[in-house]
Structure 1
């Protein structure tokens, strides 16, 4: 019994001695973006071109997340079946997530804008079938992380541990300062002016609506006026071109008695 235990320990030590240390230290991204560290997540720099000389295309690259005070006692899993899951964080204070391959960390320049956000998956938090769930971190920490390269027989290479990472703490609502005296004078003036303008516009609108309603109910609708009868059609006078009037007929000459022969 003692001999078998000793052999197991020696085998484990031999396995640990064979693990290569990758000269890389994980760290928070240096990109200018909001939310690098939140109350339950943090964004790491993507380790592009880091594992090319230490991993094969069939190897799996894991991210190990632990509380900062247990990194000295963390032991790499001897095989993929012993990988600690997210639920183990509450018992062993560590877990492994972000299951990746060598192809996901290429040396392409365009990949430099990517980040690895730890704690970004909330949908698989209670899914026992997801052994690599990247669930939100439950407390501010502090945490430390490292990358671990594994094949079907165990760990092959690992990076150095990161510096301690502490998450942001949510501020209690009782401690939020709402006193106007803490605000700048310009902000107070702008707020007052906008409030007065909104009040004036609202009062004017309501006054107009009330006035129109009062006129309608007090005077009633306007009476319909009888339509004026159409004027009779008058023909236009037509003047022809100038024609001189006809002269009067001359009078009939008087009768003359002729002498009898």
Structure 2
């Protein structure tokens, strides 16, 4: 364009974000000049400037909620299985002003020995999936919003969260509620996150250990005296029962055979065949 000033080589090669740096430096210079104008020494002005920068860049500490997740009542059938366990819903817990309706609420499932090393991810994209559970020791699942956990509503329905209840999702999918791989023990906590990172979290639950199927083991070695006596008595009773059954069969067969007449070979009857013929008497011929 005619009359337009061409950029200098330094401006053309300026890296991204340098404008923000120049703006920050300009604000710093202005703050330093204002401090000097107010009668502060250069050292005091620099200290005030440093404190202001720290206050504007430090992220607020996430809220620690005084809540411990717990299992549902022991009377619930299937509360603990070989790959799932059932929690109470934290109804009304996330109604505070620091949590918005758009913040996501996650359940962190971790092994008991991995809770000390757990660090909340800076974003949901950094959170591990169930496939990373063997390496990381924890993963995030059961994403929800606080509208799903309202408080103050009396209802006869069960408000529960079943961990490990989804058998259709892939373990590589973030947030998948895949069945738990073994008996644990496990501990869980709720974590609230927004676009800037973690907002609030609860306390860790107590340990939860899942039941496992016991393999049938064959008892080897010497039997006790009571066991030997029981086996002997049962063997004798079985022998007597078989003997009585055989006797009943023999008696039934003999009685049926005796009541039926035994027939011998029939007598041979010979029949003579006679040829019958009529005897006609010849009339006497008259004499001459």
In structure 1, the residue matched to 2:198 is 155
Structure 1 counterpart SS, 2:155: helix
- How big is the shift at 1:106? 0.7
Task: List per-residue Cα deviations over 1:82-130 (Å, max 9, x = no partner).
Answer: 011111111111100001001110112227621100000011134x3x3
Contact 1:149 1:158 in 2 (8 A): yes
Provide the TM-score with structure 1 as the length reference: 0.58
In structure 1, the residue matched to 2:124 is 80
Q: How does 1:1-261 map to 2 (within 5 A)?
A: 15=59, 18-30=61-73, 32-53=75-96, 54-107=98-151, 108-110=153-155, 113-126=158-171, 128=172, 130-174=173-217
Structure 1 counterpart SS, 2:147: helix
Task: Assess, with a 3 A threshold, how the Cα gap between structure 1 residues 125 and 56 changes in structure 2: closer, same or farther.
Answer: same
Structure 1 counterpart SS, 2:131: helix
Task: Assess, with a 3 A threshold, how the Cα gap between structure 1 residues 175 and 32 changes in structure 2: closer, same or farther.
Answer: farther
CA distance in 1 between partners of 2:175 and 2:218 (Å):
37
- How big is the shift at 1:173? 3.3
Task: Assess, with a 3 A threshold, how the Cα gap between structure 1 residues 113 and 81 changes in structure 2: closer, same or farther.
Answer: same
In structure 1, the residue matched to 2:277 is none
Contact 1:80 1:153 in 2 (8 A): no
Count of matched residue pairs: 164
CA distance in 2 between partners of 1:59 and 1:175 (Å):
55
Moved over 6 A (4+): none
Structure 2 counterpart SS, 1:66: strand
Provide the TM-score with structure 2 as the length reference: 0.53
Root mean square deviation, CA, Å: 2.4
Contact 1:48 1:112 in 2 (8 A): no
CA distance in 2 between partners of 1:168 and 1:32 (Å):
16
- How big is the shift at 1:46? 0.6
Task: List per-residue Cα deviations over 1:112-166 (Å, max 9, x = no partner).
Answer: 621100000011134x3x3110000001000000000000110000000000111
Task: List per-residue Cα deviations over 1:173-231 (Å, max 9, x = no partner).
Answer: 3379xxxx99xxxxxxxxxxxxxxxxxxxxxxxxxxxxxxxxxxxxxxxxxxxxxxxxx
CA distance in 1 between partners of 2:207 and 2:147 (Å):
28
CA distance in 2 between partners of 1:89 and 1:149 (Å):
20
CA distance in 1 between partners of 2:156 and 2:124 (Å):
28
